[in-house]
Amino acid sequence: MLAFSLLAVTFAAVASALPAAKRALGPWCDNLGGGAFDNVANFTVAAYNTTGTNTNTTGAPLVLGQAGAIDGASFKVFSTFATFPYNQYPFIELVDGRLIPSGPGTSPTAINGVTAGSEVTFVASNSVDPTKSAQIWCAVADTDPAGHGTGHPYLALHGDTDSFSLCQYLSQNNVVYKAAAGNGYDFDTCYPVKLQLIY
């Protein structure tokens, strides 16, 4: 009898020590393997040059750079801080596959979608609802057993970490998804990068 109740106590203790079941990842993390996750609080994004030179394993810090405005809204794109030296949205969160930047005194933003050849474009407006932003992002931990990674997780867009470039558009160096000629930016200046989460 004593043995039985001891056993019961032991089971109860083990059960309460087990972590809660892992929430299933959304389809925006499909095919990214066991290192994928889609919720991260408070990080910044940096571009790691996959073919060129990097001064460190972080890569070039990115900010939300200007990309024009219409009545009641402005557009923002990921630009290198080196070419757009203002950081109005210093905090970024990944919430269920949505990328949500914030900063003191700024308007909320949302991404309607990102198509091949285009820049990653945020709409900033007080009438925008960030919880309606496109669920297209996932993060992937650096799990390369050969140790070729940088130690920082990568951002994936549409399940793909390998299709980002930095391209020159006027004075800014902006992030483009699946860069192609004829989209406004200077395609000849594009080079591949990986987007890293820094936190």
Sites of contact with ligand NAG (CB under 6 A): 42, 47, 49, 52-56, 58, 60-61, 80, 91, 191
CB of 81 to ligand NAG, least distance (A): 7
Q: Which of 175, 169, 164, 172 minimizes the C-alpha distance to 188?
A: 169
Burial 52-73 (b: 16+ CB within 10 A, else e): eeeeeebbbebbbbbbeeeeee
The neighbour count for residue 195, using CB atoms within 10 Å, is 23
Q: Which is nearer to ligand NAG, 29 or 109 (CB)?
A: 109
Residues β-bridged to residue 73 = 70
CB of 195 to ligand NAG, least distance (A): 12
Q: Which is nearer to ligand NAG, 48 or 137 (CB)?
A: 48
CB of 170 to ligand NAG, least distance (A): 17
Q: Which is nearer to ligand NAG, 42 or 143 (CB)?
A: 42
Q: Which is nearer to ligand NAG, 60 or 123 (CB)?
A: 60
CB of 76 to ligand NAG, least distance (A): 18
Q: Which is nearer to ligand NAG, 58 or 88 (CB)?
A: 58
CB of 47 to ligand NAG, least distance (A): 6
CB of 84 to ligand NAG, least distance (A): 13
Q: Which is nearer to ligand NAG, 25 or 187 (CB)?
A: 187
